[in-house]
Amino acid sequence: MFEDPKFWLTVSFILFVILMIKPFKSMMIGGLDQKIEEIKSNINSSLQSFSEAEIKLKEAEKQTEDLDNKIQELLNSAKSQAESVYKNIIDKTSQTISSKEKNSLERIKQIEISAIQSIKNQASLELNNMITSYLSNLSDEDRTKVLNKSVSDFKELN
């Protein structure tokens, strides 16, 4: 058996395997430990990046909320200013209309007065013409009576 090459081949193979197991095992375990540490490092890095992303998301949401509030404030301010401008325009328009209406009424009154005066003047002229025509058709004696009667009636009025 000790002389059989198969025996020695088997013994040397077993010795080789036994001797190689320990370095191979440490190499395998060391490589696995290194891989485990690398994976842990990647996981920790990912968690840190995730935390940073959550913080940035919260900051972005807060900024969005702040912008929404500012937009709402601007809209409310613009609405308030538009209402104010609208009221001012309505007030000024009402004042302008009122002023023009007053001016128009005064102008109409002036035109009425002018028309009445014109009618009075024309009526007076026509009456004078009619009296002159009437008196010219009367005799001197009748004319004197009518004029005396008119003067006495006039004196009674005053």
Can you give the pLDDT at residue 8?
86
Can you give the pLDDT at residue 158?
66
Can you give the pLDDT at residue 32?
77
Q: How far apart are CA 31 and CA 36, in angstroms?
A: 9
Is position 151 within any domain? Answer: no
Is position 26 within any domain? Answer: yes
DSSP 12-42: HHHHHHHHHHHHHHHHHHHHHHHHHHHHHHH
pLDDT in tens, the chain (158 residues): 678 888 889 989 998 888 888 777 777 777 777 888 899 999 999 999 999 999 999 999 999 999 999 999 999 999 999 999 999 999 999 999 999 999 999 999 999 999 999 999 999 999 989 988 888 888 888 888 888 888 888 888 76
Is position 157 within any domain? Answer: no
Can you give the pLDDT at residue 132?
85
Is position 150 within any domain? Answer: no
Is the separation of the CB atoms in 105 and 113 below 8 Å?
Answer: no
Q: Given CA atoms 104, 110, 116, 121 in this order, what sign does their dihedral have?
A: negative
Strand ranges (DSSP E) for the chain? Answer: none
Q: How far apart are CA 70 and CA 64, in angstroms?
A: 10
Is position 138 within any domain? Answer: yes
Is position 126 within any domain? Answer: yes
Residue 131 CA from chain centroid, whole number = 77
Can you give the pLDDT at residue 31?
74
Crossing angle of helices 5-137 and 140-157, rounded to 10°: 130
Can you give the pLDDT at residue 140?
83
As for how many domains the chain has, the answer is 1
Q: How far apart are CA 150 and CA 144, in angstroms?
A: 10
Can you give the pLDDT at residue 1?
67
Is position 84 within any domain? Answer: yes
Q: Domain span at residue 92? A: 5-143
Is position 78 within any domain? Answer: yes
Is the separation of the CB atoms in 7 and 1 below 8 Å?
Answer: yes
